[in-house]
């Protein structure tokens, strides 16, 4: 990542997005500990102080990255709802997309569960909490639809099911990372969903 000569001037809105993406890349490679302003700047081909032309602070950059991630999760919900009408199929596809999103973006768990969020300002924690809450609410909605249509057992609490669906993906993502890619994320997603689905389906 050598910088040679002066960087080209680029419109702030474009740079902001470049920088946020670069931050995700840096985390994917070097982990949250490696997420320094210098590293991000380097990746974009800028000097560290240049970052401050586009973000008020490192925290503001982090907030943007978090929003980016939240938006992508939300987008998946929209997409699967367009792909199929069947609630169980929607859930199945959502799991698959979530797994794929994390596979292609190894940085996501690191960022979302980082100390900066997890132990940081209550404001940032509340924002992430809200983001996850909205995602869960969408899943619950799908579950309820399935119950209305008699496809999912009506005695199940939608929230419990929604959190269990997160539970298919999250530990798997962490194991995949810790084990250095030895763990088969996609396979687990498929098998765990099949198992959960059999428990959800109405007789």
In terms of phi and psi (left: phi > 0; alpha: psi -120 to 50; beta: otherwise), the region of 156 is beta
Report the C-alpha gap between 171 and 148 in whole angstroms.
30
Residues 24, 70 contacting (CB under 8 angstroms): no
The 8-class DSSP code of residue 51 comes to G
Residues 60-119 touching a copy of itself, rule: CB under 8 A, are 110, 113-116, 118-119
Non-local CB neighbours of 70 within 8 Å, separated by 6+ positions? 128, 131, 134, 135
Minimum Å distance from CB 9 to a copy of itself? 33
Q: Does 36 bind a copy of itself (CB under 8 A)?
A: no
Minimum Å distance from CB 47 to DNA? 4
Minimum Å distance from CB 14 to a copy of itself? 29
Q: By C-beta, is 35 or 196 nearer to DNA? A: 35
Residues 153-182 touching a copy of itself, rule: CB under 8 A, are 156-157, 160-161, 163-164, 166-172, 174-175, 177-180
Report the C-alpha gap between 70 and 34 in whole angstroms.
22
Q: By C-beta, is 84 or 179 nearer to a copy of itself? A: 179
What's the N-to-C CA distance of the chain in angstroms?
58
Q: Which residues bind a copy of itself (CB under 8 A)?
A: 30-34, 110, 113-116, 118-120, 122, 125, 128-129, 132-133, 156-157, 160-161, 163-164, 166-172, 174-175, 177-180, 188, 191-192, 195-196, 198-200
């Amino acid at each position: 990542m050598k910088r040679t000569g002066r960087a080209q001037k680029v419109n702030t809105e474009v740079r902001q997005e470049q920088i946020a993406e670069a931050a995700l890349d840096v985390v994917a490679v070097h982990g949250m500990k490696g997420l320094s302003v210098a590293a991000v700047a380097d990746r974009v081909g800028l000097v560290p102080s240049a970052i401050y032309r586009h973000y008020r602070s490192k925290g503001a950059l982090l907030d943007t990255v978090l929003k980016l991630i939240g938006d992508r999760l939300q987008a998946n919900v929209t997409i699967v709802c367009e792909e199929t009408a069947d609630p169980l199929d929607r859930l199945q596809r959502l799991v698959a997309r979530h797994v794929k999103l994390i596979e292609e973006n190894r940085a996501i768990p690191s960022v979302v569960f980082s100390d900066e969020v997890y132990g940081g300002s209550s404001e940032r924690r509340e924002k992430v909490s809200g983001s996850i809450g909205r995602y869960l609410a969408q899943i619950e909605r799908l579950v309820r639809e399935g119950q209305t249509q008699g496809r999912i057992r009506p005695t199940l609490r939608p929230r419990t099911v929604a959190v269990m669906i997160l539970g298919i993906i999250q530990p798997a993502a962490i194991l995949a990372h810790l084990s250095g890619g030895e763990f088969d994320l996609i396979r687990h997603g498929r098998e765990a969903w099949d198992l959960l689905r059999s428990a959800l389906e109405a007789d």
